[in-house]
């Protein structure tokens, strides 16, 4: 009773009450406590922490990015020690490029269904989902003909991929239609744009909803590439576009994502 009474009038006690609920696994009570804190003391020193903790519970416990994202954004705007964690979390809510240790993806060429080309990938190194090394190889039948290795990092409001041509942001927050950005790869300018943000995509690995379609066009080229990213799966399809056409290239045929 004393803790509850103190929480009604003291922001520090209210925040501690939310932490206690969280530690006890009472997600609903913790979220309610943090949100009441933010309503009653919107400019208190603990604003960033309360917003982040509530957002993280929505995100991880309920897979509810609709409620999590505004709270992560509030935490990021509040500054202080929770802001960087909030910015990094925004890039993964929803997670269009999951990087858990042991994750595996198999891509095939769309034309032959894998008879001509197969790409087998796995996360070899992972750092809490914020970075990882993806490695694997291309196969033609049973013949391995080229290795694949890229480092992926989620930071600075984006998802960055280290390639042979340099480090590029393959996705940038916010993940909304019309969002565009530019990068330099291999000495040439590349323009990225999210052209769709709520697609349903069907490939050999399954049917996925809420997907992004990202266009990347290298300066001086008459064609471009579309990459499709789906929540909690990653890249599921790549096509090649030109004026009036979009031709299939590769697609996801199987995947394993440890929880």
Nearest to 57 by CA among 87, 80, 84, 35: 35
CA distance linking residue 167 with residue 241, whole number of Å: 23
Cβ–Cβ under 8 Å, residues 218 and 188: yes
- The vertex-181 CA angle with 214 and 183, nearest 5°, equals 100
Question: What is the tens place of the pLDDT at every residue in 55-84?
Answer: 999 999 999 999 999 999 999 999 999 999
CA distance linking residue 26 with residue 99, whole number of Å: 27
What sign does the dihedral 59-63-69-74 (CA atoms) show? negative
- For residue 82, give the DSSP letter: G
For residue 194, give the 3-state DSSP assignment: strand
Nearest to 202 by CA among 253, 139, 148: 253
Q: Tell me, what's the pLDDT at 164?
A: 80
Question: What is the tens place of the pLDDT at every residue in 13-45?
Answer: 999 999 999 999 999 999 999 999 999 999 999
Q: Tell me, what's the pLDDT at 224?
A: 98
Q: Tell me, what's the pLDDT at 1?
A: 44
Please give the average pLDDT of every successive group of 10 residues along the chain, which has 259 residues. Answer: 56 97 98 98 96 98 97 97 95 96 97 97 92 97 96 94 88 98 93 98 98 98 98 98 97 95
Q: Tell me, what's the pLDDT at 5?
A: 46
Average pLDDT, the chain: 95
Single pTM value for the model:
0.90
Q: Tell me, what's the pLDDT at 202?
A: 98
Nearest to 132 by CA among 250, 258, 24: 258
Q: Tell me, what's the pLDDT at 128?
A: 79
- C-alpha radius of gyration, the chain, whole number: 21
Write down the residue that tokens 């001509």 correspond to.
Answer: 116
CA distance linking residue 240 with residue 110, whole number of Å: 12
Nearest to 107 by CA among 249, 1, 250: 250
Look up residue 105 and give its two tokens.
Answer: 């993806």
For residue 195, give the 3-state DSSP assignment: strand
CA distance linking residue 5 with residue 100, whole number of Å: 42
Q: Tell me, what's the pLDDT at 3?
A: 46
Domains of the chain: 2-91 (1.25.40.10), 104-256 (2.40.360.20)
């Amino acid at each position: 009773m004393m803790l509850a009474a103190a929480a009604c009038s003291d922001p520090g006690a209210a925040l501690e009450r939310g932490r206690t609920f969280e530690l006890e696994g009472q997600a609903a009570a913790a979220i309610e406590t943090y949100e009441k804190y933010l309503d009653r003391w919107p400019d208190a020193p603990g604003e960033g922490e309360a917003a982040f903790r509530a957002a993280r519970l929505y995100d991880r416990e309920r897979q509810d990015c609709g409620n999590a994202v505004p709270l992560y954004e509030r935490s990021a705007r509040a500054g202080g020690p929770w802001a960087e964690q909030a910015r990094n979390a925004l890039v993964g809510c929803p997670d269009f490029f999951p990087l858990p240790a042991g994750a595996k993806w198999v891509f095939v060429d769309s034309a032959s269904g894998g008879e001509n080309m197969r790409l087998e990938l796995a996360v070899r190194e992972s750092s809490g989902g914020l970075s990882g090394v993806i490695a694997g190889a291309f196969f033609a039948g049973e013949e391995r003909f080229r290795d694949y290795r890229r480092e992926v990092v989620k930071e600075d409001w984006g998802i960055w991929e280290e390639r042979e041509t340099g480090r590029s942001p393959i996705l940038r927050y916010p993940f909304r239609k019309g969002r565009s950005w530019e990068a330099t790869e291999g000495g040439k300018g590349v323009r990225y744009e999210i052209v769709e943000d709520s697609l349903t995509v069907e490939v050999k690995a399954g049917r996925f909803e809420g997907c992004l379609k990202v266009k990347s066009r290298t300066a001086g080229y008459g064609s471009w590439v579309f990459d499709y990213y789906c929540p909690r799966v990653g890249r599921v399809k790549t096509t090649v576009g030109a004026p009036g056409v979009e031709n299939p290239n590769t697609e996801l045929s199987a995947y394993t994502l440890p929880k």
